[in-house]
A and B are shown apart, each in its own frame.
Chain A
Amino acid sequence: MSTYAPRHAPSAFSTPASTTLFRRLTWEGTVPLEIRVASAELPANSDRGLECYYIQAARVSYLPLLVPEIKRFLSDVVFDEAAAQGIKEEDWWFESEDGAVFRWHWPIGLIYDNHTITMSTRPNTSAAPSGPLRLILHLASPPSEKLLLSPGSEACKQAFMGQLKEADFIRWGNTKRITGLRKAEQDGLWEGIKEHNFDEYWRVASKVTPTTSPARSQSPPPPSSVSMHTRPPSADPGSNGAPDRDGAYSVRSVPVRIYLPDGPVMQDLVPPLLEDGSINTLSRFLDTHLPLLFPADRAPLAYALIQGVLAPPEAEMAWLGACLAGADGWVNICVGLLREGIPRF
């Protein structure tokens, strides 16, 4: 773990070290992608055999942000000069091997995890993907009604800001925290993603993202302690007694979406504490929303991936919101099916 020690003093944001650690782990997560130009669309005189581009992409990034890099590669290596000049990246779009359109506005980590869980339902695939996710790059005729968003990083940025505000609204019932940011700060969030700069992003994001209280730095708790978590953290001995109004356990709801193989996407209010005052955990959340896959009285039929990690059932929803949310503020839970006992990753 030592290699992942936070390099910057968390005190600058008054964010506990453990929270900063998990935020950095989330930020530094990457997924392998193989991007292949649709062979029928390769321009004449292209150097065939090289039309594949491999990249280890940041989970918190977006496909439009990869386009300039891919374009540079294709222009330098694959296309001849005439073809390179004729490239119009506004016409580009990405598709999966089985013909599903990759959305511009989904974080890349979500695209990858969603593919993983989709594969978990296919009887003829031997295991969950172990290699890169294959994307087919089309150079023409974008199906705009399926892509839903204009191409380019500006439209993606608008969609990202929309998601941030929606997350803010979910947490607090208003978007004052985001709209209270100066324009330069709002732009800094997107720049941080574009440049993959953790500090630039979190300098601003820490003003809008709730944190876990320093007194509760032992997140997630050991499984045996679940039954002890029946009081809000502010009542824990060791905290100073004042409820943390901006804390992760004080939000109205945690921004969470559940992704099931081949859809649907489910979203509901997810309070950090349940009505009886006990802490809302991943297993209670899944028992409630997907009882057929996570029955309360026996072994689950499915597993939950968050940021590519098999999330432990005792993880607290508020903690997930503070530490494992994507850059857009959302905790994306991808649910895949368990098969033949132990699926391999």
Chain B
Amino acid sequence: MALTAGAPESHSRPLPSVWTSADAAGTMQEALEALDTYKKKDLTKVVVRFKAVGNAPIMKQNFYKISASNRFQAVIQFLRKELGWKAGDPLFTYINLAFSPAPDDTVANLFKSFSTDGHLIVNYSTTAAWG
């Protein structure tokens, strides 16, 4: 039984040998440097395409290049500004007419998983559209 889900977390238990490092003392620095590499901001830009749903106003320009490292929250704020929405005005945003992503999802992650023809399609609506 390799897996022990549900075991109390407080138990002291060694790692399965397959995960342990043979030369651990020297590896911490290397590991921290690896983390720094993965933490570097993704400077690429991706195309986000906004599409109005229902009664939402249509935007004159609906293609924007947005830094991939942005959170989806930043996309929502950008959209609100472009639409001239005031705080409290309802705005619902969806990807591919299907779901609302978590606001801390990054544009890079969403683009990798959900882009269509090189665009990330963001639908917006003034009423809840897909529950």
In the complex, what distance in Å separates the CA atom of A59 from the CA atom of B30? 32
In the complex, what distance in Å separates the CA atom of A146 from the CA atom of B98? 25
CB within 8 Å of B: which of A154-171? Answer: 158-159, 161-163, 165-166, 168-170
In the complex, what distance in Å separates the CA atom of A174 from the CA atom of B130? 12
B39 adjacent to A263 (CB under 8 Å): yes
B12 adjacent to A130 (CB under 8 Å): yes
Q: Which residue of B lies closest to A162 (CB)?
A: B100
State which of A103, A121, A165 has its C-beta within 8 Å of the C-beta of B98.
Answer: A165
State which of A163, A179, A186, A301 has its C-beta within 8 Å of the C-beta of B102.
Answer: A163
- How would residues 302 to 345 of chain A score, 1 for a CB under 8 Å from any chain B CB and 0 otherwise? 11100111111101000000001000000000000111111111
Query: Which residues in A have their C-beta under 8 angstroms from that of B16?
Result: 310, 312
Query: Chain A interface: which of B43-51, B59-67, B78-86, B103-111?
Result: B103-111
- Whole-angstrom distance between the Cβ of A127 and the nearest chain B Cβ: 9
- Whole-angstrom distance between the Cβ of A300 and the nearest chain B Cβ: 6
- Whole-angstrom distance between the Cβ of A236 and the nearest chain B Cβ: 21
In the complex, what distance in Å separates the CA atom of A112 from the CA atom of B19? 21
Query: Which residues in A have their C-beta under 8 angstroms from that of B28?
Result: 123, 337, 339
State which of B2, B10, B27 has its C-beta within 8 Å of the C-beta of A312.
Answer: B2
Flag whether B127 is at the interface (Cβ < 8 A): no
B5 adjacent to A341 (CB under 8 Å): no
Query: Which residues in B have their C-beta under 8 angstroms from that of A103?
Result: 104
In the complex, what distance in Å separates the CA atom of A175 from the CA atom of B99? 8
Flag whether B4 is at the interface (Cβ < 8 A): yes
Q: Which residue of A lies closest to B100 (CB)?
A: A162
Q: Which residue of B lies closest to A337 (CB)?
A: B31
Flag whether A184 is at the interface (Cβ < 8 A): no
Contact flag A220-B6 (CB < 8 Å), given A301-B34, A342-B20: no
- How would residues 1 to 24 of chain A score, 1 for a CB under 8 Å from any chain B CB and 0 otherwise? 100100000000000000000100
B21 adjacent to A162 (CB under 8 Å): no
A338 adjacent to B113 (CB under 8 Å): no
Query: Which residues in B have their C-beta under 8 angstroms from that of A264?
Result: 38-39, 106
Write the residues of chain B forming the contact surface with A, with a CB cutoff of 8 angstroms. Answer: 1-7, 9-16, 18-25, 27-28, 30-35, 37-39, 73, 95-96, 98-106, 109-110, 112-114, 130-131
Write the residues of chain A forming the contact surface with B, with a CB cutoff of 8 angstroms. Answer: 1, 4, 22, 25-26, 28-29, 31-32, 103, 105, 112, 121, 123, 130-131, 148-149, 158-159, 161-163, 165-166, 168-170, 174-175, 179, 186, 220, 223, 253, 257, 260-269, 290, 292-293, 298-304, 307-313, 315, 324, 337-345
A-B residue pairs in contact (CB < 8 Å), sample of 11: A22-B3, A223-B18, A253-B113, A301-B21, A309-B4, A309-B5, A313-B19, A337-B31, A340-B25, A342-B20, A342-B24
Q: Give me 20 other A-B pairs in contact (C-beta within 8 A), A301-B27, A315-B3 excluded.
A: A25-B6, A28-B6, A29-B5, A32-B9, A130-B10, A166-B99, A166-B102, A170-B113, A174-B98, A267-B105, A267-B109, A268-B112, A269-B112, A303-B19, A313-B19, A324-B5, A337-B28, A338-B19, A338-B31, A345-B11
